[in-house]
A and B are shown apart, each in its own frame.
Chain A
Amino acid sequence: MTDYRDLTLQGIWKNNPALVQLLGLCPLLAVTATFINGLGLGIATTMVLIGSNVTVSLVRNIVRNEIRIPVFVMIIAAFVTIVQLLMNAFTYELYLALGIFIPLIVTNCAIIGRAEAFASKNSPAASAYDGLVMGLGFTFVLVVLGGMREILGAGTLFAGADRLFGNIASNWTLTLFETDSPFLLAILPPGAFLGMGLLIAFKNMIDARIAARETTVKEKATRVRVTADA
């Protein structure tokens, strides 16, 4: 029996592919100049992750151990091609904006990592769920980083939402402030590295707070028992 609660927690927080495993950093840092680009790549990666996880899990008992990695890569490549064609058909402008980073999802270590570490050892249903939460965890970081960089760099949020959601979203862009000299650093790659570092630091800070609270609770509990024994 798979513990779905634990899987969720692992994917979104404890073992987040971007913040903890630090996998798939190349697309993460390259495309997160805006919120919508981050969301688009996040959704694409999640779709590939679910598809590849289910397929790998289905063939896990057929594929010989020695050749499993090439097989996994081919499965992932097939799903990336599917997603790429879908985006080309339905979200053409986003497809152009993300450019080379859609085909590069094949090389995203987060995906082959999950195929190897989880899907090749678990049932299709559990693997699908793992792909979903891992993808959501990855998307979450992409979106937060993209939002941060877009606000700092351009003063807007949700710019280009119509690329992903169609014409309804054409007026979703929020302009927080107007500037003649945008903070280019946030949009350039160094800004992605700095933003990523700050996000990781922020996550570690929250974890440290939680850990500190848990230890104080435990200490109190032991003291109570000691007094009771005496």
Chain B
Amino acid sequence: MKLTLSSSPHQRVKRDTGQVMRLVIYAMLPGIIAQSVFFGWGTLIQAFLAVASALVFEGIILWLRKRPIERTLTDYSAILTGLLIAISIPPTLPWWMTITGVFFAIAVAKQVYGGLGFNIFNPAMIGYVVLLISFPAAMSLWLPPQHLASLTPSFLDSAALIFTDFSTTGYDVTQLRTVADGVADGVTMATPLDTLKTDLTLGITYSESLLRPIFSTGLFQSAGAGWGWVSLSYLLGGLWLVRLKVISWHIPGSMLASVAVFSLLLYMIDADHYASPLFHLINGAVMVGAFFIATDPVSASTTQKGRIIYGAAIGFWVVIIRVFGGYPDAIAFAVIIMNMVVPLIDYYTRPRTYGHQVTKKARRSE
């Protein structure tokens, strides 16, 4: 029998940053494909635009900071940030808005704080929030899922919408949002979360709102048309990441559970005015948020217990802001709020060093 001898280190890092980021990008592919199927070419064009500008901004700032450019660009973190922004924004957002968001994500939220590993806030979410606050009208203009739209933009139309504000046939985004409703000749269609929010303020109950075409043609009753499939695709990609141990189950698990618990509480109080837990989980960005955004290794909590607290608190804020806040969705705000609290969470959940700090229970049994 031959014993192989090798010098230390015996335990090597399994994956470097670039590999982890690449795996996350692969896991996003099903969701991105689903989004393109239901919402058109815009998402892919935005992804290309956002990734390209993310790399350019990262390169320029690294050059200004006299840091190694090639090594940092190949860690794929800027590409991932760009992709996350691209999937969060409406597919027909004007190109300069996308680039503005990416600039804030890369230059302000990431590099001003010192680059990857030093950013306290999730760069992609900062970019998204900057856009949402600056251009609230444009940021809520989602086209209806393609099978409901009376006009479906082709690839050229999508590109023309993004770069010139008008499709090749001369329609703007507001006109393309109009769909045949049956009631009126044509109504503009909002996202599922927007639809419910507007209906509730009009005095329409939750169950009546679910009869609208955006819900009635969905995957199941409370899932918005198209949105249900997109969420499930991200869930699939996310579960694959958990299986590969790229991310731990703590953050997504506790976040989804907490969204379900808090929305169930409200739903049990008044089922007419508060949406069901399933509605909250399947609509909007909860799935992307739980698996791809809240799990950002830099800005999330780093201890096991801390991650559970962090995820649960994000879920709590998501429900609170969605139900009582002014904006329809809340992943970005919830994640940013909790990013601020991460140092505190980490401080109070430091794991016990082996052999130190005998617990009260152990002392009592002595």
Q: Which of A182-200 contact B (CB under 8 A)?
A: 183-186, 188, 190, 194
A-B contact pairs, 19 of them (CB 8 A): A181-B94, A181-B97, A181-B135, A181-B137, A181-B138, A183-B100, A183-B134, A183-B135, A184-B133, A184-B134, A184-B135, A184-B136, A185-B130, A185-B133, A185-B134, A186-B134, A188-B133, A190-B133, A194-B108
CA distance A184 to B100 in the complex (A): 12
Taking CB atoms, residues of chain A closer than 8 Å to B137 are 181
Q: How many residues of chain A have a CB within 8 Å of chain B?
A: 8
Taking CB atoms, residues of chain B closer than 8 Å to A184 are 133-136
CA distance A186 to B134 in the complex (A): 8
Taking CB atoms, residues of chain B closer than 8 Å to A183 are 100, 134-135
Q: How many residues of chain B have a CB within 8 Å of chain A?
A: 11
Taking CB atoms, residues of chain B closer than 8 Å to A194 are 108
CA distance A15 to B130 in the complex (A): 32
CA distance A181 to B100 in the complex (A): 13
Interface-central residue, A181, A183, A186, by most chain B CB under 10 Å: A181
Q: How far is the CB of A191 from chain B (nearest CB, A)?
A: 9
Taking CB atoms, residues of chain B closer than 8 Å to A185 are 130, 133-134
Q: How far is the CB of B125 from chain A (nearest CB, A)?
A: 14
Interface majority SS on B: helix, strand, loop or mixed? helix
* Besides A181-B94, A181-B97, 17 other A-B contacts (C-beta < 8 A): A181-B135, A181-B137, A181-B138, A183-B100, A183-B134, A183-B135, A184-B133, A184-B134, A184-B135, A184-B136, A185-B130, A185-B133, A185-B134, A186-B134, A188-B133, A190-B133, A194-B108
| Closest 4 A/B residue pairs (Cβ) | A185-B134, A184-B134, A181-B135, A183-B134
Q: Which of B86-114 contact A (CB under 8 A)?
A: 94, 97, 100, 108
Interface-central residue, B100, B130, B136, B137, by most chain A CB under 10 Å: B130
CA distance A185 to B130 in the complex (A): 7
Q: How far is the CB of A134 from chain B (nearest CB, A)?
A: 30
Q: Which of A131-184 contact B (CB under 8 A)?
A: 181, 183-184
Q: Which of B279-336 contact A (CB under 8 A)?
A: none
CA distance A140 to B284 in the complex (A): 45
CA distance A190 to B130 in the complex (A): 9
Q: Which of A120-138 contact B (CB under 8 A)?
A: none
Taking CB atoms, residues of chain B closer than 8 Å to A188 are 133
CA distance A194 to B134 in the complex (A): 14
With CB as the reference atom, state the residue of chain A lying closest to B137. Answer: A181
With CB as the reference atom, state the residue of chain A lying closest to B133. Answer: A185
Taking CB atoms, residues of chain A closer than 8 Å to B138 are 181
CA distance A184 to B134 in the complex (A): 4
Using an 8 Å CB-CB cutoff, how does the interface string of B222-252 with A read, 1 for contact, 0 for none?
0000000000000000000000000000000
Interface-central residue, B108, B130, B134, B137, by most chain A CB under 10 Å: B134
